[in-house]
């Protein structure tokens, strides 16, 4: 099953212009994708804000360093095999995500063993979501081995 609706629940705002430009580029390429920006304010408050934004039937995906890593092809397959038509990717603030929220997540995802600022994690996730869609549709964006 391929998710029909994907949302990103992100703590903090994008402040760097070049990151903002990249985010907007991928938002245009991913019609229907929604990004919800939440106020930062400590792990518990951020977890509460993310939890209150979750919609019925939405599967929570926590971005965290202990999550599973994928190459782009495997990520596209994981999205197809998620078992849900509605995914909400949660990106924490500077301190990451509350452990209780991560425990509630249906899926924990790591974009890399490296640690990224939340703004950059948002951009990387958007690019990989676009790449996954291109892979699923057989589009030219993803060139294996390139």
pLDDT tens digits, one per residue of 46-100: 999 999 999 999 999 999 999 999 999 999 999 988 777 899 999 999 899 999 9
Residue ranges per domain, the chain? Answer: 5-137
The percent of residues in the chain predicted with pLDDT above 70, rounded, is 95
**Which residues touch 66 (CB under 8 Å, ≥6 apart)?**
102, 108, 110
Question: Does position 12 have pLDDT exceeding 60, yes or no?
Answer: yes
The pLDDT value recorded for residue 28 is: 95
The confidence band for 116, taking pLDDT boundaries of 50, 70 and 90, is confident
Question: Does position 130 have pLDDT exceeding 80, yes or no?
Answer: yes
What element of type H or E holds 140? none
The pLDDT value recorded for residue 3 is: 66
Of residues 146 and 38, which shows the higher confidence score? 38
Question: Does position 24 have pLDDT exceeding 90, yes or no?
Answer: yes
Q: Residue 130 CB: number of other CB atoms within 10 A?
A: 20
The pLDDT value recorded for residue 144 is: 67
Q: What is the pTM of this model?
A: 0.92
**CA torsion angle 103 109 114 117 (round to 10):** -80
Q: Which residues pair with residue 19 across a beta bridge?
A: none
Question: Does position 15 have pLDDT exceeding 60, yes or no?
Answer: yes
Reported CATH class of domain 5-137: alpha beta
């Amino acid at each position: 099953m391929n998710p029909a609706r994907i949302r990103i629940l992100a703590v903090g705002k994008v402040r760097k212009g070049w990151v903002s430009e990249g985010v907007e580029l991928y938002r245009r390429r991913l019609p229907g994708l929604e990004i919800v920006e939440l106020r930062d304010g400590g792990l518990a408050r951020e977890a509460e804000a993310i939890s209150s934004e979750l919609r019925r039937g939405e599967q929570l995906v926590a971005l965290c360093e202990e999550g599973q890593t994928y190459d782009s092809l495997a990520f596209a397959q994981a999205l197809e095999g998620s078992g849900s038509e509605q995914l909400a990717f949660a990106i924490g603030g500077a301190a990451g995500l509350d452990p209780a929220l991560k425990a509630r997540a249906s899926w924990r995802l790591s974009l890399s063993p490296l640690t990224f600022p939340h703004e950059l994690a948002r951009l990387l996730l958007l690019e990989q979501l676009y790449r996954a869609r291109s892979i699923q549709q057989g589009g030219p964006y993803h060139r294996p081995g390139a």
